[in-house]
Amino acid sequence: MPPETSLALFGRTDEIRCLDGLVTAAREGRGGALVVRGEAGIGKSALLDHVRVQASGFEILEASGSEFETEFPFAALHQLCVPLLDNLDGLSARHREALEVAFGMATGTPDLLGIGLATLELLGSAAAEKPLLCLVDDAHWLDEASARVCTFLGRRLAAEPVVMVFSARRPWAEHRLDELPGLDVKGLSDADARTLLAASSAAVVDEKVRERLLAEARGNPLALLELPKAGGFALPEASSVPSRIERSFQNRVAELAEDARRLLTVASADPTGEPRLMWAAAQQLGLDVSMAGAVAEASGLVTISTRVRFCHPLARSAVYLAADAVERQAVHLALAAVTDPLADPDRRVWHLAQAGTGPDDEVAAELERSASRAKARGGVAAAAAFLERAATLSVEPRLRAERTLAAGQAKFDAGAVGLAAELLTSVEVAFLDDLQRAQADLLRARVAFIRHAENDGPSFVLSAARRMSGAERRDCVLDALEMGLVVGRASGVVDEVVREARGLEPAPDVLNALVVLADDGHRAGVPLLRQALSDESLMWTRHPALATMLAGELWDTDVHTTVTDWLMESGRETGSPFVLRLGLAQKAVCAVHAGDFGAALSAIAEEEAVADAIGVPPLQYQRLHLAAMRGRREEVLKQIEHSTQASARVAGLLVANTHWASAVLHNGLGDYPKALEAARLAVEPGDLYLAGIALPELVEAAIRCGEAGSAADALDELVERTEPCGTPWGFGVAAAARALVSGEEEDYLEAIKHLATSTAKPCLARAHLLYGEWLRRAGRRVDAREHLRTAHNLLSGMGMEAFAARAATELQATGEVARSRSASAADDLTGQESHIARLVATGATSKEVAARLFLSPRTVDTHLRNIFRKLGINSRRQLRDRFS
């Protein structure tokens, strides 16, 4: 009869084929990642062992998650990379520093994106010599930082000879690494289960017992191999298969001598798996270590060599839970005593906290210091865990309230919004001072904003502001305004913000400018807005989203571009994904309204790359702007549907963007009733920027629908908004709208004159179209052809397909056939390929492009080969010629 180890992969033909395919692909230079998912005992670790054997000639890196280390940032990533750390000097200085900070080898604030790129470079350089296999067991216990980096890596290995295989237990597996390809390992079929049970060394001679065992195991291989050793079986519905397996392990533990059992408890309580610590703690407990170690290994539950390893994760948890509370406390106290307080103070204090039997202010203070160290390293999840435990151990009510609030803030920063909300409800507000209560209100606002079930986040911000004074209070009111604009105006938040601001001491800042704007209109408010935007140190750094809205409100492309450039530069220098994504989105919007759709596609592709790198959905509004201007009906409607579903903020700016986009689309298509309906919805809230750019759409649609009164009212509002700004774009758009209402030729000519000096190329093209349509209807066909031809050339050249088709129809009515735009091979490039092509055309190297798009240089080279093939070229020089 074969040993049990040969039965571990019984019935796993399909799973083995899948894993072998990954290994074969890596030998050929194509990498990939796979998460092997399933319940405890289903055979995930055995499949990892199979991959390890199959990957002969590979360098193998291994790591495993630990329940006790889920709060320690980059713990698992450090395990994985330890064999490669001697190669750090070969990395670029920036990447070397990123990993040194992550692994505690240098001080600084971890940059998650930089760490991901640095690890990708580290793995890629190692794989240059021979293929690389990374095995990560118990991935459901990965710390959050490691899980995010591993997800980043797993999505970028296609062009690298690197394979990453994770094993993760359900249901926790669904919360991490879920963006990577998965392999669900299910129970064995009834026939395979019977064959496995018959082939195992455990004799089950009683037919009734055999049938009951098969029913309880439900095809779980470990259950089939372990439960016969348990000496009895629970009813199938009494508990889950993992808990029954744990009981079988606990039964084996109970049969051991006391010293061996306590040694196993020490091993189960130590997340590091270091034999040195285990032996030292055992001696601290007065155990006979030589006898205990021999008996523990003979049990088959643990192996002790350079690392302490349990035979199965359930064995470890079973051993720990088998010990009573007093014994666990003694074990943690012993581990704390032998853990170096200088080299590893955080694990030491964590063991002390686990060893406590009640409140202890001294340990709580140490936990608070550990939280500060963890936060400095970017370990917000660890900081939250330390602070939450510190609050529990705090005797003094004031300290308990402060630490609970701090734990809630850290939980929020770690992405655990639900846990943050729970901690907020347990904060004893009576023991907080005014500043701390303001901080609690701000945290409630952030939780409400993220959950967006209700639009009450800004109200919490205002509540916090009322507890502050001076500049801090003004800044907090601006926070509420910025949040209110994003959440939407239906809640009346913006009006509430303005009322609050009226009660503040006047100051020459943006808040005062907005109050004047609301009270006295644009003629009085615009000069103050322009002045406030000129102070970048105050405005742009603290409220970047609001700054972009105000720049748009001024109809000033120069200011908008300046703010956008600052956001891009600041985002790259600081490594802030939020600022960089905002800058890229605004760059796309600027490019769309300048008619450079290629540049817009590039910015959209780069924003998507950043979003993908940090594991969040890409921004939508810049896609809406581009889709609307291009005028592809199905694409726009699909984008609108996606954007509407993506936003639960029914009155928010994203939805307002969809109304504007719909108005532009339907004006281009000549469906004026739909355009009018959408434009009214876009204008109605009166939002900064969006309501302004929707007004020209409303004027045009209303005139075409015969609603001259609505058009005149919209024109008056448009002039009120644009005239004080004094920009060619604003003057030109207002003149074009006035021409539609008045029917006066000089208004058309004025619009073209102003727009010709602006960067708003799409508006200039549309002004020529409107004038050409007016001339044709006036019977001046020769004059009409000139402007319609100009409009068609501009519109088709930019790719504004709906408006170009409208111009072509008008041109045909004058007796001239418009030449259709010839298709370009560049049209076949994806957004990412177009962006890579443009970057390379400027002289960027593959390594520089890779850093911008969070890819490996090898992946960039693969994209370049596809670009060359699609464009029919074979060199970077030819690429420069195409995109110059």
Same-domain pairing of 37 and 60: yes
Q: Does 174 score more than 80 pLDDT?
A: no
SS (H, E, C) 457-504: HHHHHHHHHCCCCHHHHHHHHHHHHHHHHHHCCCCCHHHHHHHHHHCC
For helices 325-338 and 258-269, what crossing angle results, to 10°?
60
- Structural domain ending residue among the three candidates 359, 388, 420: 420
Give the integer Cα–Cα distance in Å for 565 and 560. 9
Same-domain pairing of 443 and 591: no
- Structural domain ending residue among the three candidates 777, 800, 821: 821
* Number of domain units in the chain: 7
The residue-averaged pLDDT of 15-35 equals 93
Q: Among 77-86, 346-355, 749-758, 823-832, which range has the highest average pLDDT?
A: 749-758
Q: Does 3 score more than 80 pLDDT?
A: no
Q: What DSSP element (H or E) covers 136?
A: strand 132-137
Same-domain pairing of 201 and 165: no
Give the integer Cα–Cα distance in Å for 354 and 369. 17
Q: Among 109-123, 628-642, 757-771, 852-866, which range has the highest average pLDDT?
A: 757-771
Residue 207 lies in a domain: yes
pLDDT digits (tens, 9 = 90+) for 567-578: 888 888 777 787
Residue 691 lies in a domain: no
Q: Does 518 score more than 90 pLDDT?
A: no
pLDDT at 836: 86
pLDDT at 236: 37
Give the integer Cα–Cα distance in Å for 246 and 244. 5
Residue 289 lies in a domain: yes
From the CB of residue 329, how many other CB atoms can be counted at a distance below 10 Å? 16
Residue 685 lies in a domain: no
Strand pairing report for 162-169 and 132-137: parallel
Alpha helices in 103-172 (DSSP H): 112-127, 144-154
Give CA 824 to chain center in angstroms.
34
Q: Among 135-139, 748-752, 812-816, 861-865, which range has the highest average pLDDT?
A: 748-752
How far is the CA of 623 from the CAs of 135, 386, 628, 629, in angstroms?
38, 42, 8, 10
Mapped onto helix, strand or coil, the DSSP state of residue 168 is strand
Give the integer Cα–Cα distance in Å for 383 and 368. 8
The residue-averaged pLDDT of 867-879 equals 85
Give the integer Cα–Cα distance in Å for 485 and 491. 10
Which of these, 626, 711, 631, lies nearest to 671 by C-alpha position?
631
Tokens coding 401: 């309230």
pLDDT at 242: 62
Q: Does 373 score more than 90 pLDDT?
A: no
Q: Does 638 score more than 60 pLDDT?
A: yes
Residue 835 lies in a domain: yes
Give the integer Cα–Cα distance in Å for 567 and 603. 13
Q: Does 252 score more than 80 pLDDT?
A: yes
Strand pairing report for 132-137 and 59-64: parallel
From the CB of residue 53, how many other CB atoms can be counted at a distance below 10 Å? 7
How far is the CA of 8 from the CAs of 1, 11, 46, 197, 714, in angstroms?
14, 9, 6, 12, 74
Which of these, 808, 730, 800, 734, lies nearest to 772 by C-alpha position?
808
Mean pLDDT of the chain: 83
DSSP 271: T
pLDDT-derived band at 141 (thresholds 50, 70, 90) equals confident
Same-domain pairing of 64 and 127: yes
Portion of the chain with pLDDT greater than 70, in percent: 88
pLDDT at 698: 97
Tokens coding 510: 């943006």
Same-domain pairing of 301 and 169: no
pLDDT-derived band at 130 (thresholds 50, 70, 90) equals very high
Same-domain pairing of 129 and 35: yes
Give the integer Cα–Cα distance in Å for 98 and 680. 50
Q: Does 390 score more than 90 pLDDT?
A: no
pLDDT at 150: 92
Give the integer Cα–Cα distance in Å for 530 and 272. 58
Which range of residues forms the domain containing residue 871?
826-883
Mapped onto helix, strand or coil, the DSSP state of residue 264 is helix
Say if residue 673 is preceded by a cis peptide, omega within 30 of 0.
no
Which of these, 771, 746, 767, lies nearest to 758 by C-alpha position?
767
Asked if residues 381 and 414 have their Cβ atoms less than 8 Å apart, the reply is: yes
Same-domain pairing of 358 and 474: no
Asked if residues 398 and 364 have their Cβ atoms less than 8 Å apart, the reply is: no
Residue-by-residue DSSP string for 793-821: HHHHHHT-HHHHHHHHHHHHHTT-PPPPP
The residue-averaged pLDDT of 833-840 equals 84
The residue-averaged pLDDT of 61-73 equals 80
From the CB of residue 82, how many other CB atoms can be counted at a distance below 10 Å? 13
Give CA 736 to chain center in angstroms.
42
The residue-averaged pLDDT of 180-187 equals 88
The more confident residue out of 164 and 415 is 164
The residue-averaged pLDDT of 189-213 equals 68
166: which strand partners? 35, 136
Give the integer Cα–Cα distance in Å for 421 and 408. 7
Alpha helices in 670-760 (DSSP H): 672-683, 690-704, 708-722, 728-742, 745-756
Residue 143 lies in a domain: yes
Give the integer Cα–Cα distance in Å for 190 and 268. 34
Match 């409630």 to its residue by tokens: 444
The residue-averaged pLDDT of 468-481 equals 79
From the CB of residue 574, how many other CB atoms can be counted at a distance below 10 Å? 14
Same-domain pairing of 93 and 34: yes
The CATH number for 844's domain is 1.10.10.10
pLDDT at 825: 54
Identify the weakest region by mean pLDDT among 213-227, 275-289, 637-651.
637-651
Same-domain pairing of 756 and 852: no
Q: Does 108 score more than 80 pLDDT?
A: no
Query: Is 472 buried (19+), middle (13-18) or exposed (0-12) by CB count in 10 A?
Result: middle
Identify the weakest region by mean pLDDT among 60-74, 82-96, 485-499.
485-499
The residue-averaged pLDDT of 730-750 equals 96
Q: Does 796 score more than 90 pLDDT?
A: yes
Residue 371 lies in a domain: yes
pLDDT digits (tens, 9 = 90+) for 413-447: 766 677 788 888 888 888 888 888 888 888 888 77
Identify the weakest region by mean pLDDT among 469-483, 484-498, 855-869.
484-498
Q: Does 239 score more than 50 pLDDT?
A: no
From the CB of residue 843, how many other CB atoms can be counted at a distance below 10 Å? 9
Query: Is 88 buried (19+), middle (13-18) or exposed (0-12) by CB count in 10 A?
Result: middle
Asked if residues 67 and 141 have their Cβ atoms less than 8 Å apart, the reply is: yes
Give the integer Cα–Cα distance in Å for 795 and 614. 37
Q: Does 8 score more than 60 pLDDT?
A: yes
Residue-by-residue DSSP string for 184-237: E--PPPHHHHHHHHHHSSS----HHHHHHHHHHHTT-HHHHHHGGGGTS---TT
How far is the CA of 440 from the CAs of 304, 406, 420, in angstroms?
48, 9, 11
DSSP 33: E
pLDDT digits (tens, 9 = 90+) for 642-689: 766 654 444 456 677 889 999 999 999 999 999 999 999 999 877 778
- Structural domain ending residue among the three candidates 803, 821, 839: 821
pLDDT-derived band at 60 (thresholds 50, 70, 90) equals very high
Same-domain pairing of 360 and 219: no
The residue-averaged pLDDT of 729-751 equals 96
pLDDT-derived band at 538 (thresholds 50, 70, 90) equals low
What φ, ψ does residue 59 adopt, rounded to 5°?
A: -85, 130
Residue-by-residue DSSP string for 514-545: HHHHHHH-HHHHHHHHHHHHT-TTTTTTT-HH
How far is the CA of 184 from the CAs of 163, 180, 215, in angstroms?
18, 12, 21
pLDDT at 231: 44
Residue 224 lies in a domain: yes
Which of these, 563, 569, 617, 610, lies nearest to 852 by C-alpha position?
610
132: which strand partners? 59, 162
Identify the weakest region by mean pLDDT among 21-30, 229-238, 619-628.
229-238
Q: Does 712 score more than 90 pLDDT?
A: yes
Which of these, 527, 584, 592, 525, lies nearest to 557 by C-alpha position?
592
Cα distance from N-terminal residue to C-terminal residue, the chain: 73
Mapped onto helix, strand or coil, the DSSP state of residue 148 is helix
Q: Does 709 score more than 70 pLDDT?
A: yes
Same-domain pairing of 863 and 802: no
pLDDT at 268: 87
How far is the CA of 753 from the CAs of 131, 560, 777, in angstroms?
63, 22, 22
Tokens coding 271: 């997340």
Same-domain pairing of 408 and 439: no
CA dihedral 96, 102, 103, 105 (to 10 degrees): 60
Cβ neighbours of residue 53 under 8 Å, at least 6 residues apart?
A: none
How far is the CA of 51 from the CAs of 47, 55, 344, in angstroms?
6, 6, 34
